Amino acid sequence: MPEHDANNGHEASRIPDTAKSLDTARTAEVTSSERKPGRSRVGLGIFGVVAIAGAAALVYTGISARQKSAVELQQWTEAQAIPSVTLVTLNAKPGVVSLNLPGRLQANDSAPIYARVSGYVKDWKVDIGASVKAGQTLAEIEAPDQDQQLLQAKADLANARSAEVLADVTLKRERPLLESQTVAQQEIDQRVADLASKQAAVNSGEANVERLEVLSAYKTVAAPFDGLITARNTDIGSLISAGSSAGRAMFVVSDVHTLRVYINVPQNYAPDVKLGSQATVSVPEYPGRSFPATVVASARSVDITSGTTQMQLSVDNAKGELMPGAYANVKVDLAGVAGTFRIPVSALIFDERGLRVATVAQDNRVAFKTVTIARDLGNEIELGSGVAADDQVIATPPDGLAEGDEIHIVKLQQPKQATPKVQPPAVGKNDGATS
């Protein structure tokens, strides 16, 4: 019993201690909960101030950026309103103008060979590409009709000669009888006239025989000069008609040692291409090569259809490299006119005030000058008057450019040559490391 009472007393003493601990914890919890709302209000206030300051900074930055952009935009717009131009460099030295014109090579002498007698081709001796000499036989023609005409003409001539002899003998016999009054004077006169008629018939017969003999010689077709056979349009047994120039020629013989080339020079260049002017001829079959030529003739008239003047050039072809009939490009170098300036066509202004160019005056202001054209070179123009060597001519004046307008000059930059970049030497992992 005493032990049981002691235990009960110990447990009774532990209960008040536990209750006290619980009260202490509640008090601490209540104190902590009372302090937290105050700290939260302070944190929220600081955060709000920071947020407002950041927003104000953003608004200020945005407004400043917009104001700066507006100023830059205005400056850019004003700069764009001033046109930018490039200038032309004037060169007072007369340059060389190259005139390139198409032409067609032709043989210096070219003869189509036609038959002078009618008949059949007995044989032909040469073919295309063969070189021939003057008088060389090209072909032979059989002409039986021609042979018969010659025989008949010879027979007629013999008959005329016999009649002439008889008339002469008769006159000689009767002339002495005139003195004895055996024959009348009228009869003697008739004998004299008859003899003259017979002599004329003989002369006519001789001429006819000679004509037919000459024609018979044309049964042999010969080359008229030294040259090259460039065409053959006949064969053995072909029927040939005399003088058929409307048809195809039997042969074409061409002298190709010297060739001719004709060019049509525009009217504005014709005065500059004079007799003796040198030129070069190039053909597609020899790329990169040129052959010298000389102007030897001029038509000295302008074709009303093309507005050009025809000129003839001579080309030496001693080696036979050039072929007649081939297309050729002829280049003629013309000396520039002294005291002129050359500008691109784009620099010209043609309006109701005439032909002008735009130049740059003081303070980069536009000044127009009236000019005249000395020669049209295609992409360029030679000015005869209106500009000086120190004038700054605008290469391509923009539309709407007026006198006194401000401009901005842009200098054309020459392309720079690319320089190889030098790579630094490779460095290893341990190179340059300090310990």
In sequence order, what are the residues at sequence separation of 6 or more whose Cβ sits closer than 8 angstroms to the Cβ of residue 255?
107, 108, 109, 110, 225, 226, 227, 228
Of 223, 225, 231, 228, the closest CA to residue 131 belongs to 228
- Give pLDDT tens digits for 417-427: 444 444 444 44
- Give pLDDT tens digits for 368-402: 989 888 777 778 888 878 888 888 888 888 888 88
Rounded mean pLDDT of 140-161?
Answer: 90
Whether 61 shows a pLDDT value over 90: the answer reads no
**Mean pLDDT (the chain, rounded):** 79
- Give pLDDT tens digits for 218-272: 888 999 999 999 999 889 988 888 876 566 889 999 999 999 999 999 988 888 8
* pLDDT given at position 116: 86
- Give pLDDT tens digits for 182-210: 778 888 888 889 889 989 999 999 999 99
Strand partners, 350: 355
Whether 95 shows a pLDDT value over 90: the answer reads no
Strand partners, 357: 348, 369
- 111-232 domain in CATH 3.30.1490.100? no
- Give pLDDT tens digits for 107-138: 989 999 998 888 899 999 999 989 999 999 99
Confidence of residue 45 (pLDDT cuts 50, 70, 90): low
Q: Is 401 exposed, middle or buried (0-12, 13-18, 19+ CB in 10 A)?
A: middle
* pLDDT given at position 209: 93
Whether 43 shows a pLDDT value over 90: the answer reads no
Residue with tokens 């103008």: 97
Residue with tokens 């009649």: 163
| Structure token pair of residue 91 | 């060169």
Higher pLDDT, residue 34 or 330 = 330
**What is the CATH topology of the domain spanning 341-409?**
2.40.420
**Contact (CB, 8 A) for 275 and 260:** no
> pLDDT over 90 for what percent of the chain?
30
Task: For residues 249 and 116, give the distance between their C-alpha atoms in angstroms, rounded to a whole number.
Answer: 11
Within 13 Å and on the Cβ side, how many CA atoms surround 228?
Answer: 17
Confidence of residue 153 (pLDDT cuts 50, 70, 90): very high
Whether 6 shows a pLDDT value over 70: the answer reads no
H/E run at residue 55 = helix 2-81
Residue with tokens 């058929």: 244
* pLDDT given at position 82: 82
